[in-house]
Amino acid sequence: MSDFPILNPKSSEDLALVGFRIDPEAEGPQFYTVFALGGDNERPLTTVGDRIVFFLHPDLASQALEIADPSMQDLGAPPETLELLCDVAQTMYLVNNEDEDPERIILDCLEVLDDLVRATRLSVPPLYQEALSDLTEHLLRIHMYGEFLRDHGNRERIEDALLWCVGAITMKSKMITE
């Protein structure tokens, strides 16, 4: 064992600002959260009481970190630039109306929603879990999904599963408005 002390070990995790768009008429993100990315446990900003912390403007990120679980506070200063947009509105449109997603909008949304639902500690109904898992696995291989949805489950089940996730996340969240 080395006798040298480790000074300021570098964390493998970084904080990232994630925006969300749920209104199809909105031009950009309508609210935000902070994620810890890069480690074994990618997760959103939560309070000590396990509520996901969302905020209306990026400049509220530092206020959100103040009420967060201390493990998130230890990862550094709040991020100032948007790392990822979870476009729920566009995802719903694509799932219901299109057959391909070359920009990975659906996959990015599914991955973020998965992390958020895990943070709620709620169990996704098995039918929805299977539908979302199968679609995610398919989209990791190929961005064409129209035929897959016709063959392995309908668009309505995916839409219902997405809406369930959004509702579960909403009920287990805290919104900072000012």
Q: How far apart are CA 62 and CA 73, in angstroms?
A: 9
- In this prediction, what percent of the chain has a pLDDT beyond 70? 93
- What are the tens digits of pLDDT across the range 109-163? 999 999 999 999 999 999 999 999 999 999 999 999 999 988 876 899 999 999 9
Query: How confident is the model over 97-105, as a mean pLDDT?
Result: 95
Contact 114, 51 (CB under 8 A): no
Q: Return the pLDDT at 1.
A: 47
Q: Residue 74: how many CB atoms within 10 A of its CB?
A: 10
For the purposes of burial, counting CB atoms within 10 Å of the CB of 70, is it exposed (0-12), middle (13-18) or buried (19 or more)? Answer: exposed
Domain ranges of the chain: 14-176
Say which DSSP state 176 is in. Answer: E
Does residue 138 sit in helix, strand or coil?
helix
Beta strand pairing call for 82-87 and 14-21: parallel
Q: Which pLDDT score, from 0 to 100, does residue 132 have?
A: 95
Q: What does the pLDDT read at residue 69?
A: 84
Question: Could you count the other beta carbons within 10 Å of the beta carbon of residue 4?
Answer: 6
Stretch 41-56: mean pLDDT: 89
pLDDT band at 11 (very low <50, low <70, confident <90, very high): low
Nearest to 20 by CA among 89, 104, 95: 89
